[in-house]
Chains A and B, each alone.
Chain A
């Protein structure tokens, strides 16, 4: 393929991969504290709507973006209440959050379908964007993409180099021992849930504020679930999540281009691609485990001590 085709495709891959990247990083953060949150899809869609509404009524997309993060945290806090306080099953609670989130977003968002809100526009980073090949692929996007480049680095530093990060991981690896050393495991799991939910909300807001600039029903279209799968594919490492998210961004961009080019292949079949790739990628990553950093106590509730 010639560079005239491949460079825009790769740039589009980065753009459509960004919401998935935010959500995947959020889920990694949550799972590192030992909590499995399958409600990513729900937190994302609530973030998407909140970002849209706040930006529409205040005129400030930046405020909308932040509000979406807060809304994501609030949504996942429900998961926290059910699982951390009431010891509910984490798998089922996450599903409930997905059902509730989709319901809420469509309930509130119905009057806004098809309307637009001020969003983010791309701008080229001086100097960096003029690098051949890499420049147009990575440095001619909107600010949210650039922010997403920094998060994995900050997250790795936080998880491996700070006391809070190490304690959070202890809560996910061996909560009983962590409790014995005097750590408040529940508090760190709250941090994991609410902090992760913040990034999921941001991922949703990327869809409504940068990807489309308007509100439609079912905006997330399973991206939250793809994020859950990518956490496994990434072996719980933020760095590998970047690679995975752009892979999915790539397949989504490719599929859109093929539809637009008027191919003979049915659009239903093309739309299957990301979901089929998810299964494929999961199979691939379960083929060769070994270097995985899956938290040992993932999905296991901590019982209250008397």
Chain B
């Protein structure tokens, strides 16, 4: 009988092998989504080409992709810090919302401060607000062993509704003809654009923060402790690592990074606070973090890819009338196939010979 059996690898799959698996997983998810396009009555090959053209094949498209990659990158960086310790922070979306709220509060309360004071103050407030939203589930987990997955998720819903409450109510711009949005920020509260491009200086923030997080894990003692404790909780506790404090630390860091992303989205992208900034970057960030295996450089590449898919789906919607929800299908399929592909890191298939 010819069959297939599973064999454990002698050594984990190397870098190029892993790249091949990742590439195959992405290809498989594109193939499956092509089938769905076909079933929905869209020519699949034309659809996929439109998707990628819309994402990367013009200056405007590329700039838009980078623009969307900025918040995704920062949220994903935060998510990755928590995932390193195997703390499941699903709450980037809510931490992002609170960061935007915090920054907006500073921008609306002190609009006349000079730029070099106002922007740092907004960033600080965004980090405090986002960090606090990460601190709550961490504290509950540490004190009561409450499941952080569900708490962070519920806090997402609450944060988004809180943002709605503010922009539909107390912060609503009286001159907005009933639209839910705050007044536009003063010039000092706006992060500007780089040269003549549409990309804002948030890109530079991403580079700096990315290097800082990379250095945190590579060179600091605490970063090393987080990695060690993430690999084995029991070993870490046995070695006397302050596991509980690490949990709080990574969740606050995670929330602060997502909060920073919220600050950039409010200040640089829409120049005010409005509900339309909540488009699910916090969830895309989880796909990105997993795709990049929590590596900061990989997160950079993957966030441009996933941001590009978002821009491409908008193009697909305009050109071929494909519903916007197609983006969710793509992200879900990518995450599922990449997860399944992880299997080949430690195992391989072997053909069973005739007996």
Q: Would you call B336 and A282 a contact (CB within 8 A)?
A: no
A interface residue count range (under 10 / 10 to 19 / 20 to 34 / 35 or more): 35 or more
Report how far A205 CA is from B308 CA in the complex, Å. Answer: 35
The segment out of B66-74, B148-156, B205-213 that lies at the interface is B148-156
A contact residues around B340 at 8 Å (CB): 81-82, 85-86, 88
> Cβ of B204 < 8 Å from any Cβ of A?
no
Q: Is B318 an interface residue (CB 8 A)?
A: no
Q: How far is the CA of A97 from the CA of B151 in the complex (A)?
A: 19
Q: Which of B149-200 contact A (CB under 8 A)?
A: 149-151, 153-155, 157-158, 161-162, 164-165, 168-169
CB proximity of B17 to chain A, nearest CB, Å: 16
Is B331 close to A, CB under 8 A?
yes
CB contacts (< 8 Å) of B287 on chain A: these are 96, 99
Query: Which chain A residues numbered 135 to 149 have a C-beta less than 8 Å away from chain B?
Result: none
A266 lies within 8 A of B168 (CB): yes
Residues 54 to 96 of chain B near chain A (Cβ within 8 Å): 88, 90
CA of A102 to CA of B147 in the docked complex: distance in angstroms? 23
Nearest CB of chain B from residue A116's CB, rounded to whole Å = 20
Binds A, one of B107-115, B220-228, B257-265, B321-329: B321-329
Q: How far is the CA of A88 from the CA of B157 in the complex (A)?
A: 27
Find out whether the CB atom of B339 lies under 8 angstroms from the CB atom of A96. Answer: yes
Cβ contacts under 8 Å, A283 to chain B: 140, 144, 146
B342 touches A268 (CB 8 A): no
For residue B49, which residues in chain A have a CB less than 8 angstroms away from its CB? none
The answer to whether B335 and A106 touch across the interface, beta carbons within 8 angstroms, is no
The number of residues on chain B lying at the interface, defined by a beta carbon within 8 Å of a beta carbon of chain A, is 50
Q: Judge whether A93 is part of the interface by a CB distance below 8 angstroms.
A: yes
Instruction: Say yes or no: B343 contacts A104, CB within 8 Å.
Output: no
A86 adjacent to B335 (CB under 8 Å): no
B283 within 8 A of A: yes
- Interchain nearest-CB distance for B32 vs A (Å): 10
Contact B150 A225 (CB under 8 A): yes
For B323, list chain A residues within 8 Å (CB).
106-107, 110
| Chain A contacts for B155, CB-based, 8 A | 275, 279
Which residues does chain A contribute within 8 Å of B36, judged by CB atoms? 104, 107
In the complex, B278 has a CB within 8 A of chain A:
no
Residue in A closest to B323 when the chains form the complex, CB atoms: A110
| A103/B336 in contact, CB under 8 A | no
Contact B339–A92 (Cβ < 8 Å): yes
In contact, B165 and A96 (Cβ under 8 angstroms): no
A286 touches B144 (CB 8 A): yes
Residues of B contacting A115 with CB < 8 Å?
A: none
Tell whether A4 is near chain B: CB-to-CB under 8 Å.
no
Judge whether A276 is part of the interface by a CB distance below 8 angstroms: yes
B335 to chain A, nearest CB (A): 4
A232 contacts chain B at the CB level, 8 A cutoff: yes
Question: Is A100 located at the chain interface by the 8 A CB criterion?
Answer: yes
- Chain A interface SS verdict (over half): helix
Q: B6: which A residues are within 8 A, CB to CB?
A: 304, 306
Are the C-beta atoms of A272 and B157 separated by less than 8 Å? yes
Per-residue interface assignment for chain A, residues 94 to 130, with 1 indicating a CB less than 8 Å from any chain B CB and 0 otherwise:
0111111111111110100000000000000000000
Cα A92 to Cα B101 in complex, Å, equals 28
Q: Report the minimum CB–CB distance from A215 to chain B (whole Å).
A: 13
Tell me if B328 and A225 are in contact (CB < 8 A). Answer: no
Q: A92-B286, A269-B165 are in contact. Are A276 and B328 (CB under 8 A)?
A: no
Contact of A275 among B88, B154, B283, B336 (CB under 8 A): B154
Cβ-based interface call for B133 (8 A)? no
| A105–B324 alpha-carbon span in the complex (Å) | 12
A86 touches B342 (CB 8 A): yes
Which residues of chain A have C-beta atoms less than 8 A from B336's C-beta? 78, 82, 88, 93, 96-97, 100
* Contact present for B286 and A88 (CB under 8 Å): no
0/1 string, A268-295, CB within 8 A of B gives 1: 1101100110110011001100000000
> Least Cβ distance of A245 to chain B in Å?
16
A contact residues around B144 at 8 Å (CB): 283, 286-287
Residue of A nearest to B169 (CB): A266
Which of B162, B325, B343 contacts A86, CB < 8 Å? B343
B146, B283, B332, B347: the one contacting A97 at CB < 8 Å is B332
> B145 at interface (Cβ–Cβ under 8 A)?
yes
Known contacts A78-B336, A88-B339, A96-B336: A103-B157 contact under CB 8 Å: no
Interface residues of A in 166-218 (CB under 8 A from B): none
A88 surroundings in chain B (CB, below 8 A): 336, 339-340, 342-343
23 residue pairs bridging A and B, Cβ less than 8 Å apart? A38-B149, A85-B343, A87-B342, A93-B336, A97-B336, A99-B287, A99-B328, A99-B331, A100-B328, A102-B328, A107-B36, A107-B40, A107-B323, A232-B147, A266-B169, A268-B161, A269-B165, A272-B161, A275-B158, A278-B154, A279-B140, A283-B146, A306-B6
Q: A104-B328, A225-B153, A278-B154 are in contact. List 20 more A-B contacts (CB 8 A).
A: A88-B336, A89-B339, A91-B149, A92-B335, A95-B286, A96-B335, A100-B328, A102-B328, A106-B328, A107-B323, A107-B326, A228-B150, A268-B161, A268-B164, A269-B161, A276-B154, A279-B151, A282-B146, A282-B147, A286-B140
